[in-house]
Amino acid sequence: MITQFLLKGADRRITIMLAVLLALAVLVPASNLLLSPENPLHVPTYAMSLFGKYLCYALLALALDLVWGYCGILSLGHGAFFALGGYAMGMYLMRQIGPRGVYGDPILPDFMVFLNWKELPWFWHGFDMFWFAMLMVLLVPGLLAFVFGWFAFRSRVNGVYLSIITQAMTYALLLAFFRNDMGFGGNNGLTDFKDILGFSVQADGTRAALFAATAFFLALCLLIASAIVSSKFGKVLVGVRDAESRVRFLGYRVEHVKLFTFVVSAMMAGIAGALFVPQVGIINPGEFAPGNSIEVVIWTAVGGRGTLIGPIIGAVAVAFGKSMFTSAFPEVWLFALGGLFVAVTLFLPKGIVGTISGYVSARKAIKASKDAEAGVDVDKPIQPAE
């Protein structure tokens, strides 16, 4: 039943994107590991890790699209869920360092020894186990989203007010995680990772596996998201976005609809964060910065909100552009990003994917009306309106 549910949502565009992602998951690691560096098709490790990072961003943008594009909740704090997932993974990686840290303490991570802590804080227990850490990757962002959403949606906080409090949420977490006594390494965050599941995080093989895992999880989340939006629940979601009071007067509990979507989306963002951290080798409070969350909104808008594949394309394209741009003209990047957002809002309000599919369906409509005029293929006789 679950597979049927998942596959039902995959239309042609989604299927193509899934195929691309799964092909990337196999081909890129294979080319990195199997081909010699002289081969023109060889993908160097740094490029693979960089692209893996973009795919994490793409997953984060996909998560945002689910709540913003379909449910109309403009979250300006999705970076917080991403960072929390990242911290959960980071805590696991810290515990894996064991006695190999600078201070050589078998249990305590270096920053705790440095702060002169004598024992592990309670919330660090269990993170030495991979399954527990992975559970937390889902549960911590999910729980935060649940509690936050429970209060916000019940009180019918909407529109710009909701956006502002999501922004405040991520900012509050930023300030909290900066503090040393929070127990998450203060402004240095968590870094110096050694192993993941017993494999060195620096090794090419591990990096290839992480890339493959990222592409795989992005494909999986895309499949889940497309199943959600194409179900009747997805139609309710769009209803909430377009005419919330109508949904309510039809007898749906709008707050439950929003809460479910928000929690699922936060968990996806958490997975993205967890895959991001071992590939970049660090997680620090900077990931909570409000600017990051706003960047996610820009990726989604550029790619086309409410399309699922648009945000994936937008995130990869803009993040790639950022890497190029910041190495060439580092000072002007923020202006370029702002300009991009203004340009997209003015000229491509549906984003790249939305504009292309709008163009394609307009062409089809024109062709259909020409055919109808020529008397070809009039499939349904149109009854005169009463």
Partner 1 sequence: MSEARPRSLLYLDNVSVSFDGFKALNALSLVIEPGELRAIIGPNGAGKTTMMDIITGKTRPDEGEVFFEDTVDLTKKDEADIARLGIGRKFQKPTVFESHTVWDNLELALNRKRGVFSTLFYRLTAEDKARIEEILSTVRLSHRRDELAGSLSHGQKQWLEIGMLLAQEPKLLLVDEPVAGMTDAETVETAILLKEIAKTRSVVVVEHDMGFIRDLGVKVTCLAEGSVLAEGSIDYVSNDPKVIENYLGR
Q: How wide is the angle at C-alpha 266 spanned by C-alphas 129 and 303, nearest 5°?
A: 125
Q: Is 364 a residue that touches partner 1 (CB under 8 A)?
A: no
Q: Site for partner 1 (CB under 8 A): how many residues? A: 31
Q: Is 5 a residue that touches partner 1 (CB under 8 A)?
A: yes
Q: Is 138 a residue that touches partner 1 (CB under 8 A)?
A: no
Q: Is 249 a residue that touches partner 1 (CB under 8 A)?
A: yes
Cα 332 to chain centroid, rounded: 26
Closest to partner 1 by CB, 30 vs 238, is: 238
Is residue 289 within 8 A of residue 102, CB to CB? The reply is no
Which of 117, 130, 171, 252: binder of partner 1 (CB under 8 A)?
252
The C-alpha atoms of residue 376 and residue 353 are separated, in whole angstroms, by: 31
Cβ–Cβ contacts within 10 Å for residue 196, how many?
19
Q: Which residues pair with 336 in a beta bridge?
A: none
Q: Spell out the residues 6+ positions from residue 325 whose beta carbon is closer than 8 angstroms to its own.
A: 332, 333, 336
Is residue 67 within 8 A of residue 265, CB to CB? The reply is yes
Cβ–Cβ contacts within 10 Å for residue 26, how many?
12
- State in angstroms the smallest separation of the CB of 143 from partner 1: 18
DSSP symbol at 100: G
Q: Is 151 a residue that touches partner 1 (CB under 8 A)?
A: no
- State in angstroms the smallest separation of the CB of 245 from partner 1: 7
- State in angstroms the smallest separation of the CB of 282 from partner 1: 37
Q: Is 156 a residue that touches partner 1 (CB under 8 A)?
A: no
Residue 306: left (phi > 0), alpha (psi -120 to 50), or beta? left
- Is beta strand 199-200 parallel, antiparallel or unpaired with respect to 195-196? antiparallel
Q: Is 256 a residue that touches partner 1 (CB under 8 A)?
A: yes
DSSP symbol at 98: G
DSSP symbols for 26-75 = HHHHHHHHHS-TTSTTPPPHHHHHHHHHHHHHHHHHHHHHIIIIIT----
Stretch that binds partner 1, among 82-90, 242-250, 289-297, 339-347 (CB under 8 A): 242-250
Which of 17, 254, 272, 308: binder of partner 1 (CB under 8 A)?
254
Q: Which residues pair with 191 in a beta bridge?
A: 282
Binding mask 260-289 for partner 1 (x = CB under 8 A): x-----------------------------
Cα 136 to chain centroid, rounded: 17
Which of 41, 346, 376, 382: binder of partner 1 (CB under 8 A)?
382
Stretch that binds partner 1, among 79-87, 89-97, 254-262, 338-346 (CB under 8 A): 254-262
Closest to partner 1 by CB, 100 vs 246, is: 246
The C-alpha atoms of residue 295 and residue 361 are separated, in whole angstroms, by: 30
Q: List the structure tokens of 318.
A: 């803009």
- Which 199-238 residues touch partner 1, going by CB under 8 A? 228, 231-233, 235-236, 238
Which of 103, 151, 175, 242: binder of partner 1 (CB under 8 A)?
242
- State in angstroms the smallest separation of the CB of 344 from partner 1: 20
Closest to partner 1 by CB, 254 vs 297, is: 254
Q: List the structure tokens of 126.
A: 């269990």
Closest to partner 1 by CB, 118 vs 232, is: 232
- State in angstroms the smallest separation of the CB of 71 from partner 1: 12
Residues that bind partner 1 (CB under 8 A): 1, 5, 228, 231-233, 235-236, 238-239, 242-243, 245-254, 256-257, 260, 380-383, 385-386
